[in-house]
Structure 1
Amino acid sequence: MSKYTIGVDFGTLSGRAVLVNVETGDEVAVSTYEYPHAVMDTTLPDGTRLGQDWALEHPQDYLDVFAHTIPDVLKQSGISPDDVIGLGTDFTACTVLPVKADGTPLCFMEQYKSNPHAYVKLWKHHAAQDKANRLNEIAEKMGEDWLARYGGKISSEWMFPKLWQLLEEAPEIYEEMDYFVEAADWVIWQLTGVQTRNSCTAGYKAIWHKQKGYPSKEFFGALDPRLANVVEDKLNCPISPLGQKAGELTEAAAKWTGLKPGTAVAVGNVDAHVCVPAVKIDGAAKMLAIMGTSTCHMLLGTEEHTVPGMCGVVEDGILPGFFGYEAGQSCVGDHFAWF
């Protein structure tokens, strides 16, 4: 009897599930679910106005993707859940949200439904640009050597400018939340009950290094004294390598996906980076360009080098055993859509 895996891709406007035969690689069934809330860039669901350059999403949409697409591919194919041996996901990044210790998003709490900072900050949320500018200035002034790993500049789309903006504009949200998590890791948490951070987003989006860890408390304290212990206070959970099993499907998640409890679930990944092994790149010196809302260019190497202008280099950030180099353009498909 053939065995199958399911991959779920979370994009900017929709989520897609694909059911694949592990022996042949054939795509047996595909299902797409459009996010009901789409991208919130002018108002929240209750009408609260958003400022310029905001881009938010609602985490309920991500759970609904699982509940609609996975049962659909099972129905289309007629495949038994007994024959599905694993589930993998990928996500846009850096797409982040504040949650409680049990994983509950703050926007699910009645008292914060009108607070924009309680929602998911989508990868293309650019309202933290002033924080990114200040972070880069301070890093240069302090001579932080990690800055060169990111081409000399940290983007406003990444973890710490967004987190700093949240702290400054909504300190009550910062105090209330227990974790600030990548959506890529949050959906795995919801499926398995296991909280972990994937090495890809930690490395490319949160200034984490496999050997050196995060920047120092001194650096974060120089941004804002309240951020001195940000790693311990808001990011404190294990970081797992790509390709590893994160956990198994819980009884609750099995009910809304239609899969069996105990089905293996992989560590989360990023929507572009996950494509490298899919196109059979398994070594250095081959570049992959993923074109969509944005465009990412990825290349594997056997040594770590700093390259001016690149987005980042991360050990094991794309494939285990290699240094993954990333560059690209943030506005591509969006630009064409604007025309």
Structure 2
Amino acid sequence: MKEVYYAGVDVGTGSARAVIINHEGDILGLSERPITRHELKENHITQSSTEIWNAICYCVKSAISQSGIDNSKVLGIGFDATCSLVVANEENNTPMPAGPDFQNDLENVILWMDHRAQFETDEINATEDECLKYVGGKMSIEMELPKIKWLKRNMPEGMFQSCKFFDLPDYLTMKATGKETRSYCSVVCKQGYIPKGITSRNGWSAEFLNKIGLPELVADDFSKLGGLDGVNGSYISAGETIGVLTPESARALGLTTDCCVGSGVIDAYAGWMGTVAAPTNVPIPELIQQDKDKEGLSKGVGRLAAVAGTSTCHICLEEKAVFVPGVWGPYRDVIGKNYWAAEGGQSMTGALLAHVLSTSPAYTELGVLSESSNLSKFEFLNSRLENLKTLKKERSVVALAKNLFFYGDFHGNRSPIADPNMRASIIGQSMDVSLDALAIEYLAACEFIAQQTRQIVERMEESGHNIKAIFMSGGQCRNGLLMRLLADCTGVPIVIPRYIDASVVFGTAMLGAVAAEDAMELLRNKKGMSFPSLKGKKEPLMPTDEIPPSPYTAPTATASVTSVSALNKKDGFPFPITTLAGSGDSLREKRAGRGDKKDDETEDDDLITFGAHSNAQAIATEKLRASSPLPPSSNESASEKLWRVMCRLSSTGNVIFPSDITHPDRKLLNTKYKIFLDQIATQQKYRAMVAKTESAIQSYLSI
């Protein structure tokens, strides 16, 4: 009986990575390689698809080598990437230059964070076309069509006519399979495609593309964008399979042509898959109640994934269309057929914290002291804040920044204001440039990230979503201060995954696992091979199990992991479970401030940890088991199969419950949230006043 393994590939803003996992969801090999980006002109940020593909091939081979497995046993691979625009030659898919240097063919990827197309974005949104309704009301500067419109306007004469366009995930699956199958995830989320049955348009809209001045994209049945579904193009959802690797790509990746390739997804959606099906070390009552009444992918409703890196994306699933002003979507079919996704986002989170630290005069001192303490910069600052709280005799760490009002949209606002012109404002700064002043400004930046997350969650809930928990991923999960602020600002539980640094690529490996089931069926029919059954339940581990620590969840874990074979046995957390959970009161009671407390319970407000302030509840074994997936039916849909695989491969996550609504920090954060909203309104008011004056000046000068 042949063992089966799965590969996942993730292309982020600054690196490519690959992972190998087994059928129990254990990471056996993980490799990462940097990829470069160039800003040859302000707001013009490019990459090379050639460099990206080469980095992927290196990482997959390296991960296989680490795992020590036979490469012929890897039967499925999934790809995710940033939602960046790849410009290719229409005849042979070779790179075409994306500017601003149109002599360099290798620079053929316009990165998601490229903001060159502001004028084109405004022109598109001015049409108020029907399709804009399905991208949050207006198209973002980060999406593909404004970039394509900019290329038409700025490319040398004749060059645009020779171009074809891919979202980066679809380009990678094309390189792997030789097939130009497009994913709904890419075309619906970023390119204005409307799946069949939603409106009369059923796919690409000639009316819209002609209206925005891109008739070239309409020609030849939309061939430059991927074609018409079932005519000269093919479109599939996450959980469906494109085909097998070509001989050329199999050799480059170190795999075989028996390996199937799943539909590609944008990286944030892989983060949703890699986190939201996880059982939790302490039950979240509302999720358990929901799971009793739902089946398959519908159990994913209400589970918001916050995929945190340079920026943060917020992905939520629904069974119906929910329109949220300023939040992208609703997008149908991007995760599963007939399911709708919404996508909020923050343009700068990890990048914001890095900016706050690196621009401070105390940055060098911070680097020296944190290194000598064998701590990360964030861990050192968290510790420094604890000391400051004692020295200043403040009630809590959060209170240290009570009079610093930090609004951090340095790079514009993605959600829910959807205004790329928003900028940062900081009220309450002094001339103090000491390390302590940096620590407090860093605290205020963390608070901004949490308050803006609250704003996004509130906007989604006001429109009809019901967020029951936020499933985090990314290195920011390791920051206990930030996680505590997220819980207390939003008022919902935060779930920390086992594989903090690998959640996104792990989600992509899940797509590989779904594709592997198709590969196994092909091999059974073609070669008579037999495989172990992969369709049973996977019960979450109970706290009585002996659990080895996982380097991905340790607060002092490093970002570089050269060997992960020690993770092959069981889920692991390096600290006692009782320090990681909140009380078991009803979540809605907690959010309303009605959680009961015993008189003899004490709260340790002096520490910033991954834990909640209240005592932990023991694991409710039967309740957790009740939320486990049921055995699959004999006629599974692709979405049912995807959810089953997600549940089978997901490891236990740790829960941080919000403090009681009566807690002093919650009260302070609620007041500062009102100030946060006022800072937005004030900035918009001031900009409008200046714009009115400038308009009057221009009118006067033109007389």
Same fold (TM over 0.5): yes
Q: How far apart are the structure 2 equivalents of 1:156 and 1:60?
A: 25
Could you state the TM-score of these two structures normalised by the residue count of structure 1?
A: 0.88
After superposition, the Cα gap between the structure-2 partners of 1:318 and 1:241, relative to the gap in structure 1 and judged at 3 Å, is closer
Q: Which residue of 1 aligns with 2:5?
A: 4
Say which of 314, 319, 329 aligns to 1:302.
319
Q: Which residue of 2 aligns with 1:47?
A: none
The 8 Å contact of residues 97 and 183 in structure 1, kept in 2 or not, is answered as no
| Aligned residue type for 1:169 | N
For residues 298-319 of structure 1, give each alpha carbon's deviation from its aligned partner in whole angstroms, at most 9, with x where no partner exists.
1111111221111111112123
Q: How far apart are the structure 2 equivalents of 1:160 and 1:229?
A: 13
Matched, 1:271 2:257: no
The 8 Å contact of residues 161 and 216 in structure 2, kept in 1 or not, is answered as no
Q: Secondary structure in 1 aligned to 2:39?
A: coil
Q: Which residue of 2 aligns with 1:41?
A: 39
| Aligned residue type for 1:224 | G
Q: Which residue of 2 aligns with 1:29?
A: 29
For residues 181-214 of structure 1, give each alpha carbon's deviation from its aligned partner in whole angstroms, at most 9, with x where no partner exists.
1111111111111111110011110111112434
For residues 252-305 of structure 1, give each alpha carbon's deviation from its aligned partner in whole angstroms, at most 9, with x where no partner exists.
112111111231111111111112232244421221111111111111111112
Structure with the bigger percentage of strand? 1
Paired residues for 1:206-245 under 5 Å: 206-211=191-196, 212-214=201-203, 216-224=205-213, 226-227=215-216, 229=218, 232-235=222-225, 236=227, 237-245=233-241
Matched, 1:318 2:335: yes
After superposition, the Cα gap between the structure-2 partners of 1:91 and 1:337, relative to the gap in structure 1 and judged at 3 Å, is same
Matched, 1:99 2:100: no
Q: Secondary structure in 2 aligned to 1:90?
A: strand
The 8 Å contact of residues 250 and 262 in structure 1, kept in 2 or not, is answered as no
Q: Percent identity?
A: 28
| Aligned residue type for 2:20 | L
After superposition, the Cα gap between the structure-2 partners of 1:115 and 1:69, relative to the gap in structure 1 and judged at 3 Å, is closer
For residues 311-330 of structure 1, give each alpha carbon's deviation from its aligned partner in whole angstroms, at most 9, with x where no partner exists.
11111212334211111112
After superposition, the Cα gap between the structure-2 partners of 1:233 and 1:316, relative to the gap in structure 1 and judged at 3 Å, is closer
| Aligned residue type for 1:295 | T
Say which of 147, 152, 166 aligns to 1:167.
152
Paired residues for 1:55-204 under 5 Å: 55-107=45-97, 113-114=103-104, 119-138=108-127, 140=128, 144-170=129-155, 171-177=157-163, 179-204=164-189
The 8 Å contact of residues 150 and 312 in structure 1, kept in 2 or not, is answered as yes
Number of residues paired by the alignment? 320
After superposition, the Cα gap between the structure-2 partners of 1:226 and 1:322, relative to the gap in structure 1 and judged at 3 Å, is closer
Q: How far apart are the structure 1 equivalents of 2:105 and 2:60?
A: 32
After superposition, the Cα gap between the structure-2 partners of 1:227 and 1:335, relative to the gap in structure 1 and judged at 3 Å, is farther
After superposition, the Cα gap between the structure-2 partners of 1:309 and 1:78, relative to the gap in structure 1 and judged at 3 Å, is same
The 8 Å contact of residues 75 and 258 in structure 2, kept in 1 or not, is answered as no
In structure 1, runs of 5+ residues without a counterpart are: 43-50
Q: How far apart are the structure 2 equivalents of 1:280 and 1:296?
A: 14
Matched, 1:288 2:305: yes
Structure with the bigger percentage of helix? 2
Q: Secondary structure in 2 aligned to 1:273?
A: helix
Q: Which residue of 1 aligns with 2:244?
A: 248
Following superposition, the deviation at residue 13 of structure 1 comes to 0.9
Q: Secondary structure in 2 aligned to 1:259?
A: coil
| Aligned residue type for 1:14 | S
Q: Secondary structure in 1 aligned to 2:79?
A: strand
The 8 Å contact of residues 84 and 109 in structure 2, kept in 1 or not, is answered as no
The 8 Å contact of residues 98 and 120 in structure 1, kept in 2 or not, is answered as no
Q: Secondary structure in 2 aligned to 1:153?
A: coil
For residues 108-157 of structure 1, give each alpha carbon's deviation from its aligned partner in whole angstroms, at most 9, with x where no partner exists.
9xx954379x611011111011100111012x2xxx23222222110111
Could you state the TM-score of these two structures normalised by the residue count of structure 2?
A: 0.44
Following superposition, the deviation at residue 247 of structure 1 comes to 1.4
The 8 Å contact of residues 10 and 16 in structure 1, kept in 2 or not, is answered as yes
Q: Secondary structure in 2 aligned to 1:298?
A: strand
After superposition, the Cα gap between the structure-2 partners of 1:8 and 1:223, relative to the gap in structure 1 and judged at 3 Å, is same
Q: Which residue of 2 aligns with 1:46?
A: none
| Aligned residue type for 2:84 | C
The 8 Å contact of residues 219 and 228 in structure 1, kept in 2 or not, is answered as no
Q: Which residue of 2 aligns with 1:48?
A: none
Q: How far apart are the structure 2 equivalents of 1:115 and 1:254?
A: 25
The 8 Å contact of residues 274 and 318 in structure 1, kept in 2 or not, is answered as no
Following superposition, the deviation at residue 106 of structure 1 comes to 1.9
Q: How far apart are the structure 1 equivalents of 2:7 and 2:327?
A: 32
Q: How far apart are the structure 2 equivalents of 1:225 and 1:85?
A: 41
Q: How far apart are the structure 2 equivalents of 1:113 and 1:68?
A: 28
The 8 Å contact of residues 72 and 258 in structure 2, kept in 1 or not, is answered as no
Q: How far apart are the structure 1 equivalents of 2:355 and 2:328?
A: 24
| Aligned residue type for 1:26 | D
| Aligned residue type for 2:132 | L
For residues 149-182 of structure 1, give each alpha carbon's deviation from its aligned partner in whole angstroms, at most 9, with x where no partner exists.
22211011111101000001014321122x1111
The 8 Å contact of residues 85 and 110 in structure 2, kept in 1 or not, is answered as yes
Q: Which residue of 1 aligns with 2:17?
A: 16
Report the structure number with the largest CA radius of gyration. Answer: 2
For residues 19-72 of structure 1, give each alpha carbon's deviation from its aligned partner in whole angstroms, at most 9, with x where no partner exists.
0002x110011001112xx11112xxxxxxxx3211100111121123211111
Q: Secondary structure in 2 aligned to 1:41?
A: strand
RMSD: 2.1
Matched, 1:328 2:345: yes
Following superposition, the deviation at residue 218 of structure 1 comes to 2.9
After superposition, the Cα gap between the structure-2 partners of 1:134 and 1:164, relative to the gap in structure 1 and judged at 3 Å, is same
